[in-house]
């Protein structure tokens, strides 16, 4: 997935809707993936920054939700959200806090979690993930990444 993202970024393209449904396996037994659905994509020009609310909400970066400037980091954020979901079965910002593990979060709560980068590794599905996997996610899902 990261190699595909590296390629489209080398072409100055922001996808803006990376999610599991937009990652396709080339063959059932292979490791080759394709990024699909470029309906919201655009050519990135740092001299002409763009703000738009685009993509699937739970995979969106804080800058998208806050209607701020998007960059290549916007798509990389979505990769970390997908990684978390692959390990746990739920996106990181929908995961309830440890003190109320059975609570289903509302959209305003999910929005607050995304904007404040509030997530945890306490969910049963992800608590046993490797520290390297967790570090990868932590490295990306933080406010104002550089």
Count CB atoms within 10 A of the CB of residue 89.
12
For the chain, the straight-line distance linking the first and the last C-alpha, in angstroms and rounded, comes to 20
Rounded-to-integer distance, Cα 140 and Cα 74, Å: 10
Closest CA to 17 of 44, 57, 46, 51: 57
* Annotated active-site residue in 17, 122, 123, 128: 17
Whether 17 is a known active-site residue: answer yes
Show which residues are catalytic. 17
């Amino acid at each position: 997935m990261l190699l595909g993202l590296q390629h489209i970024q080398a072409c100055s393209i922001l996808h803006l809707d990376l999610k599991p449904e937009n990652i396709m396996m080339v063959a059932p037994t292979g490791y080759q993936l394709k990024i699909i659905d470029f309906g919201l994509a655009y050519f990135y020009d740092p001299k002409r920054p763009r703000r738009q609310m685009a993509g699937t909400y739970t995979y969106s970066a804080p800058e998208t939700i806050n209607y701020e400037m998007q960059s290549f980091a916007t798509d990389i954020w979505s990769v970390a959200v997908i990684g978390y979901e692959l390990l746990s079965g739920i996106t990181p910002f929908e995961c309830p806090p440890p003190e109320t593990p059975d609570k289903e979060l509302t959209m305003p709560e999910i929005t607050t979690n995304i904007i404040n980068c509030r997530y945890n590794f306490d969910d049963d599905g992800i608590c046993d993930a490797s520290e390297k996997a967790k570090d990868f996610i932590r490295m990306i899902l933080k406010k104002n990444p550089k």
